[in-house]
Structure 1
Amino acid sequence: MPLPQPDDLTSLVLRTDFGDEGAWDAVRAALDAAGEYPLATYVSELRFADVGVQALMAEEAAADEDDQIVYMFLADAATMKDPGHPLLAVDLSDEPGRTFRVPARWFPDISANLSIANMDFAEFADAADGSGTFRGFDEG
């Protein structure tokens, strides 16, 4: 079964942690509040409970080319527990399996640029700090 498709000009946010419904609501609220326009297609399906990056890559690789997506964001246990709600960004195309964390406040910038192919995944991943988290581009 192919991964869900995001709505036009949005990014797929896939829930993988189902331990706290309130935390999921908080993640969605934080992402929605971070941007002026809706930038996420939220998917909360139990079949993705605790799924890992490797399993998602395998599922995506098995999909027809027309059904494949380029990247996604996971709302995993770390996302749910951290007050900044850092999603796990996952590259499914150029460097499959490459990841970095993105706090909710930076999600609109990344989602908008990736959805219109203005920038590519690696540009954001390369700008992640030592903890593997994107916190904006250093203007310094």
Structure 2
Amino acid sequence: MPEIAGRDEFAALIVRTDYADEAAWRAVVAEVTQPWGPGGEYEAWVHLVDDPAWAGAAPDAVLTAVRRDEELSVVFVADSTTMQTARLPLLALDVWCEDEELDPVYYQELVDCPPAREFRTSPAAVHDVHANLSIGNMDFEEFAEAALADPEGILRPTR
């Protein structure tokens, strides 16, 4: 996979891996670049990767490529599910990787009940997820649980 360069640490990273529907991609971009927050008070900062070299990339390949960015906690993927679903749900992937030297008790907890590493999110909720994970205000698992609680399994923005 090509290297992702030039991402501002405050910009949410969105990688396009499906190129079957240009109109769907334009709709994702239009939604994710809208101001966000209560009353739309925050500017949307995004780094869009729209390079056909990423076509068909699996989530693990995306994670491997983006883990070089030490400031990144989550990456959003516009995959075939995104492009083929009316709500355009992006795949949110947890970039954080477990250290190999974990406390044995904590390690066993992870083995017994592994944390969620992905969930679907509406483009409008991307900035909430990115901002809160970047500052450590919330954990990835909290967003994943909220997505699972939705009837369609999609995290939606809080308004």
TM-score normalised by structure 1 residue count: 0.77
121-130 or 48-57: bigger deviation: 121-130
> What's the CA shift for 1:105?
2.7
Q: What are the Cα deviations for residues 1-60 of structure 1, in whole angstroms up to 9, with x where unaligned?
A: 544463231210000011122221111001122624113211111121111112223345
Structure 1 residues 10-89: aligned runs within 5 Å: 10-33=11-34, 35=36, 36=40, 37-60=43-66, 63=68, 67-68=69-70, 69-89=72-92
Structure 1 residue runs of 5 or longer lacking an equivalent are none
**Contact 2:63–2:93 (8 Å) recurs in 1:** no
Residues 47 and 97 of structure 1, relative CA distance in 2, 3 Å threshold: farther
Aligned to 1:109: 128
Residues 58 and 8 of structure 1, relative CA distance in 2, 3 Å threshold: closer
* Equivalent residue letter for 1:80: M
TM-score normalised by structure 2 residue count: 0.69
Structure 1 residues 120-135: aligned runs within 5 Å: 120-129=139-148, 132-135=153-156
* Count of paired positions: 133
**Contact 2:82–2:89 (8 Å) recurs in 1:** yes
CA distance in 1, matches of 2:18, 2:126: 19
Structure 2 residue runs of 5 or longer lacking an equivalent are 99-114
Aligned to 1:118: 137
Structure possessing the higher radius of gyration over alpha carbons: 2
